[in-house]
Amino acid sequence: MIARRTLITGGITGGAGLLLAGCDRVVQIPAARKILFAGEDMQRGLQRALMDRGALAPEYRPDQRSPIFRANGTYDPGTAAYKALAAGGFADWRLAVGGLVERPLRLSLADLRALPNRSQITRHDCVEGWSAIGQWTGPMLGNVLKAAGLRRAARYIVFTCADLYGGAPYYESIDLVDAFHPQTILAWAMNGRPLDVPHGAPCRLRVERQLGYKHAKYLMRIDAVATLSGIGRGKGGYWEDNVDYDWYAGI
């Protein structure tokens, strides 16, 4: 019947007519229709997921801040090197930005303060089941990465910290979507005061769309890499490598 209609409407030669007929027939079979358009649905789902990843985490009013914001994980790196930095008020601390960048940087606290800074009051969610709301201030990681100039091969940003777990520095990583998210900042202040030691002095990552363990404290290095396979055991972070936490801890 379709073939006949094609012949009538088209009045055309065999090949094209049959092709048209073929299409009509396939689309009329519900199962085939489902398969044909499944790709389109998946693409829409992926697009939605990508757009959601750019969405902002909720921000709160100053009076909604938690009166007590507990510290977790390391409270004080306690190494000789860290003690020396802390004793000097972190004047000698430098944040190294390297890896796959055009211009490696060494940033002081004064350098971070001199950049355009962003303040945000957000809720920290720890995987262990507690949350706290606090205000964080610092430059956007994205601006620092732009200043360093990411090379084309860069896919992830790896953070190396001053505190040691089993003799090796705590480390974490995020992808470029999170790295360039506007609420992803290198925080040097908490609730309007320079970051204290328990919360990661002198500078910690805030990556507000992710769970607590991604918010690396005591930052020493930031490296752009093409793959996570050379970092730790390859899963992208201390907890990912050792306790099987998810690398992508989006909330």
Ligand X SMILES: Nc1nc2c(c(=O)[nH]1)N[C@H]1C(S)=C(S)[C@@H](COP(=O)(O)O)O[C@H]1N2
Residues 113-152 that bind ligand X (CB under 6 A): 126
End-to-end C-alpha distance for the chain, whole angstroms:
53
Binding test (CB under 6 A) with ligand X, winner from 215, 231, 237, 240: 215
CB of 52 vs ligand X, minimal distance in Å: 23
The vertex-250 CA angle with 227 and 144, nearest 5°, equals 55
Which span sits near ligand X by CB under 6 A: 20-28, 115-123, 139-147, 211-219?
211-219
Distance of CA 23 to the CA centre of its chain: 44
Q: Does 72 bind ligand X (CB under 6 A)?
A: yes
Q: Strand 131-139's sheet: what is its strand order?
A: 117-125, 131-139, 189-190, 193-194
In Å, the largest CA–CA distance within the chain is 90
Q: Does 126 bind Mo ion (CB under 5 A)?
A: yes
- Residue 182 carries which side chain, given as an amino acid letter? P
Q: Does 237 bind Mo ion (CB under 5 A)?
A: no
156 contact, one of ligand X, Mo ion, none, CB 5-8 Å limit per kind: none
173 contact, one of Mo ion, ligand X, none, CB 5-8 Å limit per kind: none
Q: Does 213 bind Mo ion (CB under 5 A)?
A: yes
CB of 70 vs Mo ion, minimal distance in Å: 10
The residue nearest ligand X at its CB is 73
CB of 226 vs Mo ion, minimal distance in Å: 28
149 contact, one of ligand X, Mo ion, none, CB 5-8 Å limit per kind: none
Q: Which residues, listed in sequence order, are joined to residue 208 by a DSSP beta bridge?
A: none
Q: Does 71 bind ligand X (CB under 6 A)?
A: yes
Binding test (CB under 6 A) with ligand X, winner from 199, 206, 209, 235: 199
HSE-CB of 161 using CA atoms within 13 angstroms: 33
Phi-psi region of 240 (alpha: psi -120 to 50; beta: other; left: phi over 0): alpha
Q: Does 6 bind ligand X (CB under 6 A)?
A: no
Question: Measured between alpha carbons, how far is residue 125 from residues 121, 141, 192 in Å?
Answer: 13, 20, 20
Helix axes 2-10, 14-28, angle to 10 degrees: 140
Residues that bind Mo ion (CB under 5 A): 126, 212-213
Residues that bind ligand X (CB under 6 A): 70-74, 126, 161, 163, 170, 198-200, 212-213, 215-218
